[in-house]
């Protein structure tokens, strides 16, 4: 079916937002969205999603499991601006106000196959102690104007954040025509990629 010289390549991502570890919080839900460059366009699937509220498991693990599926296909002409998934986790605070519990972002894996990613999450800090108190009290904590800023570098220097917990994501990545367009992202045989790649940057 493939034409001799494709003009776009396709990136299909499916998987799920598996679970999260937020030791102090419960009853969380998460939102995800994709941030991608100008040369990218989604062709199928959902770019954004909001999950159900999940409670902690009653066992040792205390895991918050969503198992919220992601399924989206992008087309692109340029690997610049490779899609990133941006996650933001929300949950009620002591007074029952919905507050943000964490932001995080990670690039969709480049190579085809199955990948597991654990993203550390963080929230912006209040500018002062008083602010912190009032925001705690009123339940209106500082939030990013747009969650997508966590996928960008611009303007981050004015913010201070605190890390909160982890979210584990599972990606199954399929690409099409990338090699034909000259982009080599992985091993030739994609059969041996069944093992999950090691998580990013921190001990599990």
Q: What are phi and psi of 194, to 5 degrees?
A: -70, -30
Residues 67-96, one symbol each (x = binds other proteins by CB under 8 A, - = not), give: ---------xxx-x-----------x--xx
What is the Cα 197 distance to its own chain's centre?
16
Q: Which residues contact 102 (CB under 8 A, 6 or more apart)?
A: 22, 87, 88, 89, 121, 122, 123, 164, 165, 167
Handedness of CA 99, 102, 107, 112 (dihedral sign): negative
The smaller minimum CB distance to other proteins, of residues 183 and 197, is found at: 183
Which 48-67 residues touch other proteins, going by CB under 8 A? none
Contact between 138 and other proteins per CB under 8 A = yes
Q: Which stretch binds other proteins (CB under 8 A): 5-13, 14-22, 112-120, 196-204?
A: 5-13
Cα–Cα distances (Å) from 24 to 80, 94, 99, in that order, read 38, 11, 14
Q: What is the 3-state secondary structure (H, E, C) of 4-37?
A: CCCCCEEEEEEEEEEEEECCCCCCEEEEEEEECC
Q: Which stretch binds other proteins (CB under 8 A): 15-23, 82-90, 125-133, 189-197?
A: 125-133
User: Rounded to the nearest whole angstrom, what is the least distance from the CB of residue 194 to other proteins in the complex?
Assistant: 31
Q: How far is the CB of 38 from other proteins (least distance, A)?
A: 5
**Residue 144 contacts other proteins per CB under 8 A:** yes
**Which residues contact other proteins by CB under 8 A?**
5-8, 38-41, 76-78, 80, 92, 95-97, 124, 126-128, 130-131, 134-135, 137-138, 140, 142-146, 148-149, 154-159, 181
């Amino acid at each position: 079916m493939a034409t001799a010289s494709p003009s776009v390549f396709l990136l299909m991502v499916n998987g799920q937002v598996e679970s999260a570890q937020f030791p102090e919080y419960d009853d969380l839900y998460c939102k995800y969205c994709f941030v991608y460059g100008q040369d990218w366009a989604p062709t199928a699937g959902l770019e954004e999603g909001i999950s159900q509220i999940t409670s902690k498991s009653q066992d040792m693990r205390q895991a918050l499991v969503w198992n919220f599926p992601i399924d989206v296909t992008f087309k692109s002409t340029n690997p610049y601006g490779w899609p990133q998934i941006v996650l933001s986790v929300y949950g009620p605070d002591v007074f029952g106000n919905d507050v943000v519990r964490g932001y995080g972002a990670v690039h969709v894996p480049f190579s085809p196959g199955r990948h597991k990613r654990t993203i550390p999450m963080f929230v912006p800090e209040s500018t002062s102690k008083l602010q912190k108190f009032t925001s705690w009290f009123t339940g209106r904590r500082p939030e990013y104007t747009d969650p997508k800023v966590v996928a960008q570098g611009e303007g981050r220097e004015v913010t201070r954040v605190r890390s909160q917990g982890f979210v584990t994501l599972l990606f199954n990545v399929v690409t099409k025509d990338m090699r034909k367009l000259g982009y080599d992202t992985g091993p030739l045989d994609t059969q041996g990629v069944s093992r999950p790649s090691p998580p990013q940057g921190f001990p599990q």
